[in-house]
Each structure stands twice: as structure tokens, then as C-alpha cells.
């Protein structure tokens, strides 16, 4: 555990006092202070792919949240933001450990798996906000599973800051947790309305222009959602040579979402509430229109609960090897630079025509899909 933590400290130290994604947050926070439009850099950016524009793309409430950082010098803002994010990770982990009281062996496995999780390294280096979302989602699920409907509000706030957690309302409705869903929707509406009261024009522009542009997704190589993989393989795009260009390819992710949802319903029948909730989490990155590697920190609770369940069963060989194998894919295999390097001749074609490159380039997606499919087996109590 000490060695793993030391490595993670080196990762944080190596990130220095500049985190590229925080630049967009600070720009939006400072625009909020000065009454400037939040989304002008996004809307007027020349890059044709909206998902790749280096500009603020989150709801106005997020800009208001980070606005205090905009009053600080860049270096101080970067340090404070890193502290907030790492504190969020620690809080989410401690909340889980204090609630479920795992054995010392399970705690060791959880900490080592967490701080060596490659998507977490990417998140920390880039200065992303996903650890705050992780805390809200973890707190929301923990409270709901323990019979406290009001904790659905935490999920609503998470969806306000980054839209993808709104998918969790499907879990609540399918699980017949209507009060919790009402809390989630109510919190989402209340925080959005509060932000709109302060930044009405920006709120209108976000839902009218920004969100639809992002919802179309992208075939860019790093997009590890179902929609991203389908776009690379089945649509004409500037990044890959598709297998075939289908005009109705947009129906494939929709059909996939229905199949994955049906699988969750089938496998979760008769399972404890905690297992049903945790087994649903991988659907967030799978069904999002855009899933970058740093978004995958939302999967950490699946590994946490999986390790706790396996420890209670004295670490059975098959499931333990399966969970460890998935961690290896996320943290090692997904980093393998198979095939031509970016910008070299043959890189674009290799993304869809070379079997080895195809598997390596989509390793995060495949690992997330396997985690979703294997979750009921990994999380069972006996």
C-alpha cells in the first residue's frame, strides 16, 4: 500500500502547477465574475469537432461553482483545485469503508487498486472534475441503498455539474425508487434554476446550442463510449476508415442501450439493493455520447465493492483473477501503443482494420463492457 501511494504522489507531483482542463474552468469562472458570456469560446472556436474544442462545455452551475478559483492566481488555483479533487476521492473512499467495514486485506486491495488506476492518473494530471462527481454519486448511492431517499439529491447535483450522471435516473425508475428519482430530478431542477437566475442567457445557450452539439458524440480515437466505437466502425468520419458507412448507424447505440439495460434487469433480479446499484454504474460511461479515459474514475466503486465482496468469500480464485485481470486491462493494456503512432502513415486505417490495434485502441471500452457483464458474478455474496 505504501509503494502504491508513493507512486500516486509521484503522479500528482509530476502534474506540476498546471492542469490543462482547469484552464477552461478558470476562464469560465472569471467570465462569470466579469459578466462575460460563458460559451463564446466554444461556439466561435474554429475546430469542427465540438467535443475537442478547448473551451468550457459544462452547465452554468459548474462555472459558478469554480468562480471563486477565478479570483486566485493560476498557480494557487491549480493547487487548491487539486486538493479539492483529491479530498473528494478520499471522502468517497472513506465513506465506503466506514459504511461497509471491510477487512484489512480488502482495504489494502482497494487502496492499491485505486491509486494505481490509470484513468485516475489521467484525471489528476488533467485537473478534471470527475472526482467530485465520484463523491456525489458514491454518497447518493450509499444513502439510497440504506433507505434514505433524500440522498437522491446528490445524484441530481452530480447531473447538474456533468450531465452524464442523469443516466442514473433510469436505475432509480427501473428499481422502482420513485421517491429517490423525485429527489434527484428536483435537485437537478432547483440547482439549474438557481444558476439560470444568475446566468439566464448562458443557461439558454447551453441547453439550446452546447448540449446538442456535444450529444452528437465523436468518432475520435479516445472516445471510449459505445457511441464512439460505433462511430469509428460504422460511419464516415475524419479519424478512421470505417468497416462500412451506414446512414442508420445512430440506431446501433440506441439498440445497444436497450440490450444492456435488459441484461441489467435480468441479472439484477433478486440481488441485494447494493449489488443492483453498483452493477448499474458501468452503464454511465458505456451510454454517454462521449467518454474520455478520465471519466472512467466513476467505475472505482465497482472495484471497491467487488473487493469487499471477494474478501468476505475468502478471495475465490476465479472471481479474484477476473477482477484483477480487469484492473490490468484498465491500467496496463489500455496504455499499449499498438500499431503506427499518431500522425504516422497507416495510423487511421489501422484503427479499424488491424485486429490488434482495434482491440488495444478500444481497450477502455472493452474493459468497461466486460466489467458490466461480469459485475453480477463479481459482486455476488456467495
Per-residue model confidence as pLDDT tens digits over 104-149: 999 999 999 999 999 999 999 999 999 999 999 999 999 999 999 9
Task: Output the pLDDT for position 186.
Answer: 98
DSSP letter at 341?
P
Of 175, 152, 176, 178, the closest CA to residue 165 belongs to 152
| pLDDT score at 247 | 92
Average pLDDT over residues 3-29: 91
Q: What percent of the chain has pLDDT over 70?
A: 99
Of the candidates 206, 198, 252, which has an alpha carbon nearest to the alpha carbon of residue 225? 252
Q: What is the pLDDT of residue 20?
A: 85
Determine the pLDDT at residue 291: 97
Residue 344 scores a pLDDT above 90: no
Residue 381: pLDDT above 90? no
Question: Does residue 330 surpass a pLDDT of 80?
Answer: yes
pLDDT band at 343; cut points 50, 70, 90? confident
Q: State the pLDDT at residue 14.
A: 87
Instruction: Check residue 18 and give its pLDDT.
Output: 82
Domain assignments of the chain as residue spans, ordered by start: 2-379
**What pLDDT was estimated at residue 107?**
97
Q: How confident is the model at residue 370 (pLDDT cuts 50, 70, 90)?
A: very high
pLDDT digits (tens, 9 = 90+) for 43-66: 999 999 999 999 999 999 999 999
Summarised one tens digit per residue, pLDDT across range 272-290 is 999 999 999 999 999 999 9
Give me the phi and psi of 116, to 5 degrees please: -105, 10
What number is the average pLDDT over the span 84-102?
97
Please give the Cα distance from 20 to 43 (Å, whole number): 20
Least confident of 17-31, 78-92, 169-183: 17-31
- Whole-number mean pLDDT of the chain? 95
Q: Is the pLDDT higher at 338 or at 285?
A: 285
pLDDT tens digits for 281-323? 999 999 999 999 999 999 999 999 999 999 999 999 999 999 9
* Residue 89 near residue 298 (C-beta atoms within 8 A): no
Cβ count within 10 A of residue 20: 12
pLDDT band at 367 (very low <50, low <70, confident <90, very high): very high
| Nearest alpha carbon to residue 201 among 63, 47, 71 | 63
- pLDDT, tens digit (0-9, with 9 covering 90-100), for 194-252: 999 999 999 999 999 999 999 999 999 999 999 999 999 999 999 999 999 999 999 99
pLDDT band for 342, please (50, 70, 90 cuts).
confident
Q: Looking at residue 341, what is its pLDDT?
A: 87
CA-based radius of gyration for the chain: 20
- The rounded percent of the chain whose pLDDT value lies above 90 is 93
| Residues 37, 222, 217: CA angle, nearest 5 degrees | 55
Q: Are 156 and 148 in contact (CB under 8 A)?
A: no
Q: Cα torsion for 150, 155, 159, 162, to the nearest 10°?
A: 140
Give backbone dihedrals phi and psi of 185, rounded to 5 degrees, phi first: -65, -40
The pLDDT value given to residue 281: 98
Amino acid at each position: 500500500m505504501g509503494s502504491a501511494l508513493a507512486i500516486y504522489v509521484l503522479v500528482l507531483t509530476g502534474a506540476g502547477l498546471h492542469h490543462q482542463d482547469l484552464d477552461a474552468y478558470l476562464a469560465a469562472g472569471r467570465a462569470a465574475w466579469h459578466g462575460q458570456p460563458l460559451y463564446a469560446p466554444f461556439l466561435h472556436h474554429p475546430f469542427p469537432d465540438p467535443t475537442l474544442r478547448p473551451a468550457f462545455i459544462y452547465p452554468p452551475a459548474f462555472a459558478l461553482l469554480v468562480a471563486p478559483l477565478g479570483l486566485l492566481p493560476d498557480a494557487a488555483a491549480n493547487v487548491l483545485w487539486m486538493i479539492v479533487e483529491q479530498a473528494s476521492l478520499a471522502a468517497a473512499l472513506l465513506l465506503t469503508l466506514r459504511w461497509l467495514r471491510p477487512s484489512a486485506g480488502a482495504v489494502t486491495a482497494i487502496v492499491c487498486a485505486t491509486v494505481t488506476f490509470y484513468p485516475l492518473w489521467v484525471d489528476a494530471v488533467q485537473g478534471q472534475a470527475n472526482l467530485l462527481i465520484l463523491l456525489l454519486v458514491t454518497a447518493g448511492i450509499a444513502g439510497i441503498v440504506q433507505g434514505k431517499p433524500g440522498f437522491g439529491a446528490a445524484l441530481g447535483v452530480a447531473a447538474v455539474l456533468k450531465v452524464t450522471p442523469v443516466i442514473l435516473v433510469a436505475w432509480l425508475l427501473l428499481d422502482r425508487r420513485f421517491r429517490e428519482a423525485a429527489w434527484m430530478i428536483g435537485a437537478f431542477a432547483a440547482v439549474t434554476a438557481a444558476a439560470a437566475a444568475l446566468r439566464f442567457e448562458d443557461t439558454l445557450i447551453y441547453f439550446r446550442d452546447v448540449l446538442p452539439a456535444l450529444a452528437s458524440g465523436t468518432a475520435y480515437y479516445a472516445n471510449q463510449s459505445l457511441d464512439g466505437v460505433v462511430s469509428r466502425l460504422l460511419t464516415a468520419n475524419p479519424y478512421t476508415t470505417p468497416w462500412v458507412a451506414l446512414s442508420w448507424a445512430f440506431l446501433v447505440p440506441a439498440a445497444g442501450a436497450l440490450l444492456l439495460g435488459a441484461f441489467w434487469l435480468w441479472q439484477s433480479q433478486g440481488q441485494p439493493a447494493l449489488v443492483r446499484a453498483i452493477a448499474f454504474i458501468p452503464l454511465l460511461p458505456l451510454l454517454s455520447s462521449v467518454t474520455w479515459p478520465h471519466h472512467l474514475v466513476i467505475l472505482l466503486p465497482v472495484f471497491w465493492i467487488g473487493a469487499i465482496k471477494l474478501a468476505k468469500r475468502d478471495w475465490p480464485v476465479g472471481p479474484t483473477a477476473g477482477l484483477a485481470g480487469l484492473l490490468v486491462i484498465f491500467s496496463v493494456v489500455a496504455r499499449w501503443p499498438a500499431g503506427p503512432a499518431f500522425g504516422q502513415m497507416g495510423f487511421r486505417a489501422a484503427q479499424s482494420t488491424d485486429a490488434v490495434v482495434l482491440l488495444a485502441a478500444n481497450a477502455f471500452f472493452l474493459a468497461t463492457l466486460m466489467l458490466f457483464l461480469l459485475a453480477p458474478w463479481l459482486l455476488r455474496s456467495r
